[in-house]
């Protein structure tokens, strides 16, 4: 298990260290963001009994990240469970979702969506500006032509999730009781 964790952590570090540059022709920004989402699934603990057969990644809204980039991680394994990617319709609920990728098109409904996602013990992730400040758990941000991420531990705790200290150590910013996000 320690070896798997070390390999996953190294892969995530490699993405952070230089592979995520915007000038890199072999890796597109969307693919890097999808790789981050995949690695987040490896470093989050859901409440006991919450995950049964698969880790369900639900995509909500019209995402510039795109369904195809996130669909590329479909079937990969995290925590000995396959990752299943679903594109939600407006009428679908978040029941059964373990990770919810919230597109910027859903900004006007975000407070309501985050409340429901937290009640479902879902990890909320987005690449929209200000996501962690508005109560989302993980925001993908572009800084110095690299993709990084911020973590709102308060939101993760509200959802009943535990984020690995190793993932926290790689975050650009971590918001908690002592460092609250500024709206």
CATH number for the domain including 72?
Answer: 3.40.50
- Domain ranges, residue 130: 2-175
Alpha-carbon Rg of the chain, whole angstroms? 15
82 is a domain residue = yes
pLDDT in tens, 18-75: 444 444 443 588 889 999 999 999 999 999 888 889 999 998 887 655 567 777 888 8
Mean pLDDT of 108-124: 94
Domain count, the chain: 1
pLDDT of residue 132: 95
3 pLDDT band, cuts 50/70/90, is very low
| Long-range contacts of residues 115-122, Cβ cutoff 8 Å, at least 24 apart | 117/159, 118/155, 118/158, 118/159, 118/160, 120/94, 120/95, 120/96, 120/159, 121/46, 121/47, 121/50, 121/159, 121/160, 121/161, 122/58, 122/94, 122/97, 122/98, 122/159
* pLDDT value of residue 114: 94
Alpha-carbon distance 80 to 97, whole Å?
Answer: 17
Q: What is the pLDDT of residue 26?
A: 38
Question: Residue 67's pLDDT is what?
Answer: 65
Selection from 3-12, 92-101, 158-167 with the highest mean pLDDT: 158-167
| Mean pLDDT confidence for 126-138 | 94
Residue 182 lies in a domain: no
pLDDT band at residue 175 using 50, 70 and 90 as cut-offs: very high
The answer to the question of residue 39 being in a domain is yes
How far is it, in rounded angstroms, from Cα 160 to Cα 156? 6
User: What is the pLDDT confidence band of residue 8, given thresholds at 50, 70 and 90?
Assistant: very low
Q: Mean pLDDT across the chain, nearest whole number? A: 83
Q: Each residue of 139-167: pLDDT tens digit?
A: 999 988 899 999 999 999 999 999 999 99
Checking if the pLDDT of 7 tops 80, the result is no
Which of 152, 146, 143 is CA-nearest to residue 102? 152
Q: Show the tokens assigned to 42.
A: 């490896």
Is 181 among the domain residues? no
In a domain, 180, yes or no: no
């Amino acid at each position: 298990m320690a070896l798997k964790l070390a390999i996953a952590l190294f892969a995530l570090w490699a993405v952070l260290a230089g592979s995520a540059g915007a000038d890199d022709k072999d890796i597109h920004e969307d693919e890097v963001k999808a790789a981050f989402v995949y690695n987040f699934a490896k470093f989050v603990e859901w409440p006991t009994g919450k995950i049964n057969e698969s880790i369900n990644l639900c995509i909500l809204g019209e995402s510039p990240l795109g369904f195809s980039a996130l669909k590329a991680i479909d079937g990969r394994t995290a925590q000995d469970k396959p990752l299943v990617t679903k594109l939600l319709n407006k009428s679908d609920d978040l029941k059964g979702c373990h990770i919810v990728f919230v597109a910027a098109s859903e900004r006007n409904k975000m407070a309501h969506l985050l409340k429901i996602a937290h009640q479902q013990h879902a990890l909320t992730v987005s690449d929209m500006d200000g996501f962690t400040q508005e109560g989302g758990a993980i925001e993908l941000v572009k800084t110095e032509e690299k993709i990084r991420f911020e973590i709102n531990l308060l939101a993760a705790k509200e959802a009943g999730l535990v984020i690995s200290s190793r993932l926290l150590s790689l975050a650009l910013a971590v918001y908690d009781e002592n460092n609250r996000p500024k709206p």
